[in-house]
Amino acid sequence: MDITKQFLKAKRPCAEGLRWFLRRHQMGADYQPLLDDLVAAGRVDDACWLLAQFGPTDEVLALDALEADAFVFAGTLDVRGSITVGSLLRTGGAIRCGGSLRADTTIACGADLRCEGVVVSGGSIEAAGALQARWGIEAAGGIRVGGDLRADWDIACGRDLVSGGHCIAGRDIEAGAALHCGKGLRAGGGITARGRINAGQGIEAGAAIACGGHLAANWGIKAGKGIHAEGVVQAGESLQAGEEIVAGGGYGVYAGLQVHAEAWEASARVHAAARPARLLSGWWAGA
């Protein structure tokens, strides 16, 4: 793709960025070499803006390993070893990493992100498709994924965790703010969020479930230990906990919200160490 002055001006760039382009590329420039030049000049934000304007390419860059201060690539990045980036890593296509992936500020890709090691970001992690790590996933900021989010170990972030598909971890799942999952939410250990937790399907944890807001699932909720929420606890079907089920002050516990009342005994059962205070719907089935 040849980017000319007229082509670029049609996208309404900032005045400083346009002046830089005219000084360096008066006769125009190819897309990826221009991205590379912007990053080399320290204009990483401009490179990200350019990628957002002109979108991904079908190009695939295959490397043995990648280490850079910043990296912006319009196509798919396929690295057989590890990736280490001092600030931002962004691609228009997928990221495939055979080792560990680490970036100090941001990891973002326009398709799937698959890693055979750990994925760690000092800022946010974003993937338009699925995100899968053989080990753990950790972000100081938020995690936002268009498809499934999966890790064999922990998934943890300091802000919102959003998955458009399933969210599954072999160990714990922890969000520093809200946790939203478009489909099923499952952890081999505990599930914790400082904000609300919401799942389009069911929620299952091998240990405790705790959230600082409302806890809601369109299907059932199951925890190996206790279920604690600062807001309402509501399930479309059954509720089950190895210990107590506790809602926030003034809030209730609801099961069977997606089930006809006559079917509560079969499909809206509530099991816990003790009957929840303010159990307002569902069939209490004992410990």
Which residue pairs, CB below 8 angstroms and at least 24 apart, start in 255-259?
A: 255/279, 255/281, 255/282, 255/283, 256/281, 256/282, 256/283, 257/281, 258/218, 258/219
Could you give the percent of the chain with pLDDT greater than 90?
87
53 compared with 160, residue with greater pLDDT:
160
What does the pLDDT read at residue 22?
55
- Mean pLDDT for the chain? 94
pLDDT tens digits, residue range 123-161?
999 999 999 999 999 999 999 999 999 999 999 999 999
pLDDT (mean) for 215-229: 98
pLDDT (mean) for 92-117: 98
Could you tell me the residue ranges of all domains in the chain?
Answer: 1-40, 56-150
Backbone angles phi, psi at 5, to 5 degrees: -60, -45
Neighbours of 52 (CB within 10 A): 12
